[in-house]
Amino acid sequence: MTDLLHAEDIKKAVGAFTAAESFDHKKFFQMVGLKTKGPDDVKKVFHILDKDKSGFIEEEELGFILKGFLPDARDLTTKETKTLLAAGDKDGDGKIGAD
């Protein structure tokens, strides 16, 4: 992940959301620097987070998304996971695709 994003940005972003129910995906992705990356780099990050390499990030994988950025990060709560899924699941199939 640090090949694409700055380690210090990742650490600060993960640290900002250590409390349960504090995760804000828009702020988090901005803080780690994804908002300034081009589509190719965003897809590279997506594929890192797609742990089962299915081409999609499913609800179960979303719960562990912070650990994809920093291994000792916390898991998202069920509510945070569902909120993140709803934000990224454009076609309602219960998973998020790279596009």
For residue 23, pLDDT over 90 is answered with yes
Other CB atoms within 10 A of residue 82 CB = 14
Per-residue pLDDT at 35: 93
Q: What is the pLDDT of residues 51-86, one digit of tens each?
A: 999 999 999 999 999 999 999 999 999 999 999 999
pLDDT band at 98 (very low <50, low <70, confident <90, very high): confident
Taking the C-alpha atoms of residue 94 and residue 31, their distance in angstroms, rounded to an integer, is 26
Closest CA to 73 of 10, 31, 7: 10
For residue 99, pLDDT over 90 is answered with no
Annotated binding-site residues for Ca(2+) read 50, 52, 54, 56, 61, 89, 91, 93, 95
Domains and CATH numbers, the chain: 7-89 (1.10.238.10)
Q: How far is CA 43 from CA 5, 37, 40, 46, 63, in A?
A: 13, 10, 5, 5, 19
Annotated binding-site residues read 50, 52, 54, 56, 61, 89, 91, 93, 95
